[in-house]
Chains A and B, each alone.
Chain A
Amino acid sequence: MSLLNYFKINKTSSASVAKERLQILVAHERTSRNQPSYLPQLQQEILEVIRKYVNVGQDAITVNFEQDDNQETLELNIVLPDYHPKSF
């Protein structure tokens, strides 16, 4: 080991931090890039329909869009509260 190496170890390099941050960010931005533009509105409207029947919060519903070579998947996840119905 050279003299120089002796002084520069022991510290996570800023370049590896940069790489890690970029990988996470870019992966995230790529998934949202491929999503159809109607997704946010779709999410909003579904939420309104559900709220007619069940009292759920804004974040009770998640819409996930995934795409691979031969198919597109739209995944809807709705979390219902423990204690629900609006009485009719």
Chain B
Amino acid sequence: MARIIVVTSGKGGVGKTTTSAAIAMGLAKKGHKTAVIDFDVGLRNLDLIMGCERRVVYDFVNVINGEATLNQALIRDKHCDQLYVLPASQTRDKDALTQEGVGKILEELSKDFQYIVCDSPAGIEKGAHLAMYFADDAFVVTNPEVSSVRDSDRMLGILSSKSRRAEQSLEPIKEYLLLSRYSPERVKLGDMLSVDDVQDILSLHLLGVIPESKSVLTASNSGVPVILDDKSDAGQAYADIVARYLGEDRPHRFIDEKKGLFGKLFGGK
């Protein structure tokens, strides 16, 4: 039986797809057979971040409509043979996804996979709803910024009332906070909400902090999930997050600023 993870946020542009690609790769690299599904019908991008855009033949909606089998649509990742990508449809409208269809596909995947990562679209429309509906765990990606924090809170409300687990009065979805695009320097200057601030407001279990990092853009430019760049801070942050999710005890990093020469000279204390 697979564990279903939704990567969600409400707000767009906070790093859902980057996170989905990274954690799916991280779980697969640890030897768990993992599928990552793009729920953003009409605006697919996971294929691009995963670097498999030229190998898309069939998509999620084709499988729901019975035009292709799941095996035909799943794309095996070129870096890791435990990882498969199910791309979203680029042409059809959002109504192409149905709760019944999504449920069937997740059930079929569950027989064969250990983890299923659902990359949610932004917003709270149908695609986002279906991405979180069947989830066991939710990774709430938040930027330390007012609109993102507010939207995350809204998403938490939806997770606890509109999901399958809520509707069937099962054990609630486990919710985790992933604070991304974090800049310890700006936090220190008082220009950015700190990890503690965000946790005070959202009261979520912190899975990890991903620092604002040039390596994220470099990774997406070349279509390689950033977690494979193990020299980069963001890559290491995602590796920590995957390890913590799997139960390893790793101290949090990237919360305090690295002191440069200037900081060392004038930093005091």
Interfacial residues, chain A to chain B (CB-CB below 8 A) = 1-5, 8, 11, 13-16, 18-19, 21-23, 25-26, 29-30, 33
Q: What distance in Å separates the Cβ of B191 from its nearest Cβ neighbour in chain A?
A: 6
Alpha-carbon gap, A33 to B159, bound state (A): 12
B47 near A: Cβ within 8 Å? Answer: no
- Cβ 8 A contact of B157, one of A15, A16, A33: A33
Is the CB–CB distance between B197 and A2 below 8 Å?
A: no
Is the CB–CB distance between A18 and B146 below 8 Å?
A: yes
Using C-beta atoms within 8 Å of the partner chain, give the interface range for chain B. 20 to 34
Is the CB–CB distance between B269 and A2 below 8 Å?
A: yes
Q: What distance in Å separates the Cβ of A10 from its nearest Cβ neighbour in chain B?
A: 11
Is the CB–CB distance between B192 and A15 below 8 Å?
A: yes
Cβ of B153: which chain A residues have Cβ within 8 Å of it? 26, 29-30
Is the CB–CB distance between B190 and A19 below 8 Å?
A: no
Cβ of A2: which chain B residues have Cβ within 8 Å of it? 266-269
Alpha-carbon gap, A3 to B193, bound state (A): 23
Cβ of A25: which chain B residues have Cβ within 8 Å of it? 150
Q: What distance in Å separates the Cβ of A33 from its nearest Cβ neighbour in chain B?
A: 5
Cβ of A15: which chain B residues have Cβ within 8 Å of it? 187, 190-194, 197
Alpha-carbon gap, A11 to B189, bound state (A): 11
